[in-house]
Structure 1
Amino acid sequence: MGSILSCLLTRRSPRPKVLFLTTQPPAEIKAEWPYYQNWFLPELVRKRGADVQVRCWRDAALDAVAVSKYDAVTFLWCNNYHAHPIEFPDFVGRVLIPAQEQNPRLDIFNDPATILWNCDKHYLLQLAAAGFVISKSKFIDSSALTYASLASAVQDFSDTTAVILKPAISGSARGQHLIRDPQDFSTEDEAFIDSVVTHGVNGDLILQEFEESISAGEYSLVFINGRHTHTILKVPHGDYRCQSEYGGSAEEVSKSDVPQNARDVAQQIVRYIGAEVSKNDQYYDDEGSPLVYARVDGIMRGDQFVLMEVEAVEPHLWLEAKSGSLALDELCNVFFRGK
């Protein structure tokens, strides 16, 4: 409670102009996610002393000149950006990067280079090449698929191990399908493959070996300014997916209950992104990472942490968790760091 109250204190320094980018109208976000933890951030930052605006990035009036007038811009309200796989990256490159060139003091977080890298799951290949363990994966060009070619790709990828087929640009496990037996498609498998070929997907397709150990839960490690603040364990129930939309449960676990390998690897991933991906030369934390926020999701395969994904665009940071108040306080501070 004390940390949240400190977020409400008004500063005497000049009021920074803060922009929360959004994809949907606020009312739609609230309707879709009634307990959306990022919902209260604009009001908290406003009460702390900032001039806060919430604007849709698809607004044609929001050009580079308009954005350059702000002091801070964040993507933390930008859920459902993946529904616009061409327009969203175009906005980042056409508006945000030029705005920062016009106003070098403009603080955009996370930085545009990280956003562009993270909005397509091809980033997993770079992390795998850097030595981080991911599930066995193959990316498939979705531009000229036929039923026969996709079915063949699935069967060639795995003899007996179940596989996940999903789009490279997506969120919350949307648009993905579990194929239990790659050599003997079920009616549901055939229908899903046919739908992908007929209707297409956002970006390429990913084939991944299904990790049976997901049944024990997926760890979501939250990082603010490069530091691990708290962890949520998400466990599937009645479905292979652990998201709440599919019946999964989520609870905070203490750091001591998070496997050491998970903590170590997740920290290394955040540092790697800060060093190799981010182009934010303006602000660095004492851990060597310019990332303002990130969530690293993974499962344990024995004693080994297997990375499932990194969320650095608009992740659910579980700020409402018991230990999330400290993260919330530190996150609030970021909006004023240029003042």
Structure 2
Amino acid sequence: MPKIAIATYDKLPDLTFNDQLLIPIFRENGYTVSPEIWDNSEVDWSSFDIVLIRSTWDYYLKPVEFKNWITQFINSKTRLINSAEMVLKNSHKFYLKELANKGVSIIPTIFSSEKIELEKLKMWEKIVIKPAVSAGSHETEIFEVNMLTQEVLDNKTRTGDWLVQPFLEEIKDAGEISMLFFGGNFSHAIQKVPKSGDFRVQKQFGAQYLKFEPSTMLLSIAKNIVEIAGKESVYARIDGVITQNGFLLMEVEMIEPDLFFEHTLDGPNRFVEAVLKEL
């Protein structure tokens, strides 16, 4: 029987509840399935037909190791989903600059690999600074520009690549919208609302996840982003915020996004169908 490895990390050796839902569906389609920890050196990845990236949620803490792990699947007989090339590109948030150049509306962003001058940030009252390689709001902070000093800014962005964006007040009230696409087709969407007084939209910070029904126009915008950012993606999650200027993209998640199957009955089946269509 063909073999599938579902890649996870050492804190979730048995996968998340959502990812566990995929196993019986793959087995019904004739596949042997096992969860495998992505940085376990004892795993023989070449013994699998498919390696499906799911909860590799510590990859940003081990960027060199993760890059090396992903690179081994380039030109390999083992199929990585999403593709190695797509994952490598998506792991660094400077891909947003390319999307903006192709006409996608993103949050206004300063992309920096060098010293950031405080004077250039004074066009905004409040800013968000986030690393280009990150997940789950890791090292993401909000600053009041009039309270920020060059020294604090330098210490924050001393090494690595960074994104600086204006803080959007809409996030405090309406949160973010996440739209899931499997095989390029829309599956379902949720609204992630932060707890009062916070801006982070992850559950570990008290956020609420609500089912969301996007408008026809919003779906068209999101599908266009998928076409531009990852036309060959098996799965993609479009994260953004609805503002008075329309929908602004925050991220395109094509590595290990939470799929929010608790908000859709048929989501796991649609996901597996998209995976198997690629084979």
Question: Which bin holds the TM-score, normalised by the shorter protein?
Answer: 0.7 to 0.9
Match of 2:166 in 1: 209
Q: Is the 8 A contact 2:113 2:162 kept in 1?
A: yes
Match of 1:8 in 2: none
- Which digits, 9 at most, give the CA deviation of each residue in 1:190-234, with x for residues without a partner? 76864654xx5xx41111111122232211011011011111011
Q: Establish whether residue 270 from structure 1 lines up as the match of residue 226 from structure 2.
A: yes
| CA–CA separation in structure 2 for the residues paired with 1:108 and 1:51 | 16
Distance 1:240 1:263, change over 3 A: same
Q: How far apart are residue 337 of structure 1 and its match?
A: 4.2
- Decide which of 183, 189, 206 is 1:247's aligned counterpart: 206
Which structure 2 residues correspond to residues 146-295 of structure 1 after superposition, within 5 A?
149-150=115-116, 153-180=117-144, 182-185=145-148, 194=155, 197=158, 203-214=160-171, 215-238=173-196, 239-254=198-213, 258-274=214-230, 289-295=231-237
Match of 2:49 in 1: 71
Higher percent of residues as helix: 1
Q: State the AA in 2 paired with 1:265.
A: I
Task: Give the SS at the match of 2:10.
Answer: coil
Q: Establish whether residue 305 from structure 1 lines up as the match of residue 247 from structure 2.
A: yes
TM-score by length of 1: 0.73
Task: Give the SS at the match of 2:68.
Answer: helix
Structure index of larger Rg: 1
Q: Is the 8 A contact 1:159 1:183 kept in 2?
A: no
Q: How far apart are residue 240 of structure 1 and its match?
A: 1.7
Greater mean alpha carbon deviation, residues 121-130 or residues 231-240: 231-240
Q: How far apart are residue 39 of structure 1 and its match?
A: 4.0
Task: Give the SS at the match of 2:63.
Answer: coil
Match of 1:319 in 2: 261
Match of 1:120 in 2: 92
TM-score by length of 2: 0.88
Distance 1:160 1:270, change over 3 A: closer
Structure 1: gaps (5+ residues): 1-14, 143-148, 275-288
Measured on the aligned residues, the alpha-carbon RMSD in Å equals: 2.6
| CA–CA separation in structure 2 for the residues paired with 1:244 and 1:55 | 25
Match of 1:135 in 2: 107
- Which digits, 9 at most, give the CA deviation of each residue in 1:244-300, with x for residues without a partner? 22222110022xxx24442111100111123xxxxxxxxxxxxxx421111101111
Higher percent of residues as strand: 2
Task: Give the SS at the match of 1:178.
Answer: strand
| CA–CA separation in structure 1 for the residues paired with 2:54 and 2:206 | 25
| CA–CA separation in structure 1 for the residues paired with 2:26 and 2:162 | 39
Task: Give the SS at the match of 1:222.
Answer: strand
Provide the aligned length of Structure 1 versus Structure 2: 277
| CA–CA separation in structure 2 for the residues paired with 1:154 and 1:44 | 53
Which structure 2 residues correspond to residues 15-54 of structure 1 after superposition, within 5 A?
15-27=1-13, 36-42=17-23, 44-46=25-27, 48-54=29-35
Percentage identity across paired residues of the two chains: 26
Match of 2:63 in 1: 85
